[in-house]
Amino acid sequence: MNPVSNVHLAVQFFFQIGVILIACRIVGMIAKYFGQPQVVAEMIAGVLLGPSLFGLLLPELQKTMFPWDKTQLTRDTQSYLFPASQLGLALYMFIVGLEFRVDIVRRHFKSSLAVSMAGMIAPFVLGAGLGWYFFHYTDLFPERTKQSEAMLFLGASMCITAFPMLARIIHFKGLAGTLMGTVAIGAGAIDDAMAWCLLALVLASFDSNMTAAFWSIGGGLLFVLVAFALVRPLLDRCKHWMIAADETLSDTGLVIGLAVMAFGAWFTDKIQLHAVFGAFVMGACMPRGIMARDLIMRIQPLAVALLLPLFFTYSGLNTEIGLLKTPYLWTMCGLVFLAAVAGKFGACWLAARWTGLPNREALGIGTLMNARGLMELIIINIGLQRGVISKELFAILVIMAVVTTLMASPLFEALVGSKKPAGQYA
């Protein structure tokens, strides 16, 4: 690429950043009145900036601002927006890992596991059934996709939980450390780990290389074992080198934290489990106290305010709700939504009650687990990029992700109320 092309990319990228940030903030101000956190507003703003609204109302202007021409890198938004969005995702998941309380989840592992298994099995069965139906009676899957891949992918898409967004909503609602928040965050972590394993199987089958799936799953388990057995103790022993004399994180500590995050993201991306998994695990491995506190304080503003909105916009540019042109496709969209809500909310509520949790806590857990949000967008973006699903099915799944995430806060207020459950701290 010549210097002129590089300059053009930079000029275009800086302009897009300005547009994205302003759009996200405007939508965020509106969303705040409806009790929605900023991260939910950014998900909506990303869809609005794509062909679904902006491109529908002002198509030429939208194409000028967000060009998509893969034959010319100087005119292809994806060539730079995608890697920047992946960096934002990795940093965000690193922060979620830094805030993750392994000790609390361990104390309520039985409830978390029961809720997770119910929230995996029920939506997976419903999703796999819809995958079978879509494969045989619609054209929502490309010809190259096999029946088993269609069923596995849609099942995995249904059983995903918006783990990072779940963490933000729990923080936003002041539920961190409560029984409800702890069980939900533990179940969400287990759910998403299982969903990534299912995705690895789908992609390996799609590439006719099932060995790759076992390498991905086995490599992921080995990565977690090494991270907690070796990396965590090593960082804990060396943390005095990363803390300055004034009891704050030193610049060296910040660099080491970011480097550890990057290597973790690189490894899990390399074994095709996605960078977010490695970034989260490395965040969970960092020493608690000053180091975790200051890493969050120094990384979060840039990651959340600048880089994460790029991912939502990238997803929005791939979403064309206008492709759902017929009542039949909208009916299929409704079926996906109903299966998602019934499988996740219903099953998690019943599992929480079965393990002895009060009904109020059980309803709250079911509501929180039902949000798909960010992780759903990640998994369906991978499916679209690899050609496993069509653009129509991608749009249907984006609508499901947005609506289930949007309904989380108001449904929580209606069923549980705004007060924290008294005396239910972990």
Phi and psi torsions of 243, nearest 5° = -110, 125
Q: Does residue 210 sit within a domain?
A: yes
- pTM, 2 dp: 0.79
Q: Is 416 within 8 Å of 364 (Cβ atoms)?
A: yes
Q: Does residue 420 sit within a domain?
A: no
Q: Does residue 254 sit within a domain?
A: yes
pLDDT given at position 41: 84
Q: Does residue 71 sit within a domain?
A: no
Q: Does residue 399 sit within a domain?
A: yes
The sign of the dihedral angle between the CA atoms of 292, 298, 301, 307 is negative
The C-alpha atoms of residue 295 and residue 276 are separated, in whole angstroms, by 17
pLDDT given at position 104: 64
User: Along the chain (426 residues), what's the average pLDDT of each consecutive run of 10 residues?
Assistant: 62 87 91 79 85 85 76 59 86 84 70 82 92 92 89 86 70 70 76 73 69 79 92 89 84 92 92 83 89 90 86 79 88 94 90 84 85 78 85 91 86 74 43
pLDDT given at position 299: 92
CATH of the domain at 141: 1.20.1530.20
Q: Does residue 43 sit within a domain?
A: no
Strand partners, 230: none
Domain coverage including residue 393: 87-415
Phi and psi torsions of 268, nearest 5° = -70, -25
Q: Does residue 359 sit within a domain?
A: yes
Q: Does residue 7 sit within a domain?
A: no
pLDDT given at position 418: 59
pLDDT given at position 295: 92
pLDDT given at position 177: 64
Q: How many domains does the chain have?
A: 1
